[in-house]
Chain A
Amino acid sequence: MRVEYINPFVETSYQILKEVLGGATVTRGDLYLKSTAMPVMGVAALVGLAGDVEGRVLFDMTFETALNIASAMNGETLTKFDELAKATISELANLITAQAVTKLHELGFKFDLTPPALFAGEKMEIAALGGGNTNSVEALIVPLITECGKIEVNVAIRERM
């Protein structure tokens, strides 16, 4: 992944997450590269990217974490991962990605994004989450640890040749 793209995603994920959780403690884990871009934890909120690049950002977390975050963002305890909870996590993905895209724009990189999609389930549809060649796409992982649980920001971007 292009070096210049990394910081906007890292900074934005951290700042927005901290903000929507009302200033709660958010710890950044070490960044690393994964050979496959598949999400692994149970809930994945995905925002597509276009423009100078093609790819997507995905926010990977467990059901429990998703419910905790949705509850915190709504200011009430949600007990089921219902439409509101899903919409809340999707919006979190949207907020982070949109602000990262805005920052990248300021740096001269023209990105566009799609409305978020949410995938939840034990075995997620592989085809739905990245098109034909998900297996061969490298992903940058930004782990973020909060009191609600861990989120992995999973970025798979390819330059448009």
Chain B
Amino acid sequence: MENTAEKPSINSVLKESLGNIQNIAGPDSAETPKQDNMVVVDYKMVTFSLAGKDYAIDIMKVKEIAKAGRFTYVPNALPFVLGVYNLRGDIIPIVDLRLFFNIEMPEREYDALENMLIVSIGELTFGIVVDEIDKVVGIQKSSINPPHPLFGDINIKYIQGVVEVNNRLYVLLDIDKIFGSKTDNKASEDAVMKEMSARIAASAPAGGSSKKQTAPAPKKEEKVDYSFIVDSLVSMRKFTASALNDKWMQNRYKEWEGERGKGKTQLQNPADADVFLKKFYSPFSGTWWDKAYADSIFKSLPDNTAKQIVVWNPGCGKGPETYSLACILKKRYPEAKIRIYAHEVDLLSISNAPLLAVPADVANDWYAPYITKKANGDFTFIPEIRDSILFEYHDCANTNNLPSCDIIFARDVLSFLPEPSQQTIVSEFYEKLKGNGIVMLGQNESLEDNPKWSATKVGAITIFGKK
């Protein structure tokens, strides 16, 4: 690279050092090619702008382009990690390169749609927010020049090269270096990049179970112990400690420490995890309800004069909870048409729900008015109750087309989802819920710490509403 004596403008310096480049992309190329007219496009790049300057990325790394407005904020992540985004069911981290490179940019509007490039490096997928996405440009790989040291905006190690096409200068970013590719064998990697990859991998629930960033960075031994318990609960029973169940977790851990003794708190096996979690579950979780519990739910339901009451029951399991809810709702809102959408991602559990038989002792309990006897002596729910429920094999991480809901009933479901999914679904609750709608979670789950939700206690039951 030439070393010029004065300090001319960057563009003229680069133009000089780039020399006579073949301008392949456009018909307005003034230069006559030195060789014959056949120029081979052997490299394609996606061009975009960041803070007014033109950049590009190898098209092979770009999976797709998306426009998005709604990111779910991820706590404890680095500032340039904006959050996570639900890309058709896959939760991917979103990075803002403007923040990563410390480039000045206008204040982002809260609800504005951002332009994103979805890139993939090895097995990891990320979204990159940029100002504007321009187009795909084909070039000859040999026309890419190494970056000039004068380029002060961005750390040069992140630049693969520069290339001029049609009188525009593009800075070709090295995505692998920016995100720390797994195939990069360099012995000494930038500490920031290493941590960035680790942080990003931790905030996205990728295939294998990596350590989840659910607890603050362990400083003392106790905190290390606690975070190991958190990890074990995830890997053994898919229980994810989060803001949703934090209060209960903290109390339970203290109790556990007392039971097992300090330093001996570690969960040895799944059975141990079950003992720990035994105190988490709501009453009658996964089974038929007793009269007292049914009454407490009944009392917690607010007045509602709507002609149709829409209920979303994600994680309905085998069905007893849904049927119990259906009976109580019928009793509480006798004039209304009840419509319950019961979702479950475990096909085996839900496959028998529409035809669920009721045990005799249950049939004779408070459920009696809603039960009928079949010809063969089995007990089943009356058609009105059965018709009010739609059991669906559905993954709540995927988008649904539910109408606005009056009631969302999700007991002990969210705590068994990875944290980003928990956040996505709670946002979904907020969107789907009518203004006067209520959310009911598990006994030890709460939205109290979430500023968007209000909590009301009716006896032992807490109901959440939109603020």
Contact = CB atoms under 8 A, between A and B. Distances in A.
Contact of B90 (A31, A35, A138): A35
Nearest to B90: A35
Interface stretch (B68-76, B395-403, B429-437, B445-453): B395-403
A141 B350 CA distance: 17
B393 A35 contact: no
Nearest to B87: A35
Interface string A14-48: 00000000000000000101111000000000000
Given A31-B347, A33-B345, A135-B88, A3 B393 contact: yes
A138 B395 contact: yes
B351 interface: yes
B394 A138 contact: yes
B338 to A, nearest CB: 15
Contact of B89 (A31, A35, A161): A35
B367 interface: no
Contacts of B354: 3-4
Contacts of B89: 34-36
Interface residues of B, number: 21
A2 interface: yes
A158 B400 CA distance: 9
Contacts of A84: none
Interface in B392-432: 392-395, 397-401, 403
A33 B390 contact: no
B397 A6 contact: no
A3 B399 contact: no
Contacts of A161: 401, 403
Contacts of B345: 33
Contacts of A2: 390-393
Nearest to B403: A161
Nearest to A159: B390
Contacts of B390: 2, 159
B90 A3 contact: no
A35 B401 contact: no
Interface in A97-143: 135-136, 138, 140
B353 to A, nearest CB: 6
A159 B390 CA distance: 10
Interface in A1-15: 1-4, 6-7
A53 B395 CA distance: 19
B399 A138 contact: yes
B34 to A, nearest CB: 36
A33 B394 contact: yes
Nearest to B341: A159
Contacts of A136: 88, 399
A3 B350 CA distance: 7
Contacts of B403: 161
Given A135-B88, A158-B401, A33 B350 contact: no
Contacts of A7: 351
A1 B392 contact: yes
A159 B400 CA distance: 11
Contacts of A135: 88
A35 B351 contact: no
A33 B393 contact: yes
A158 B391 CA distance: 13
16 contacts: A1-B394, A2-B390, A2-B391, A3-B353, A3-B392, A3-B393, A6-B393, A7-B351, A31-B347, A33-B345, A33-B395, A35-B395, A136-B88, A136-B399, A138-B395, A138-B398
Interface of B: 88-90, 345, 347, 350-351, 353-354, 390-395, 397-401, 403
| A-B interface, 4 closest residue pairs, ranked by CB to CB distance from nearest | A35-B89, A138-B398, A35-B398, A136-B399
Given A1-B393, A2-B393, A140-B393, 18 more contacts: A2-B391, A2-B392, A3-B350, A3-B392, A3-B393, A6-B393, A7-B351, A33-B345, A33-B394, A33-B395, A35-B89, A35-B395, A35-B397, A35-B398, A138-B399, A138-B400, A159-B390, A161-B403
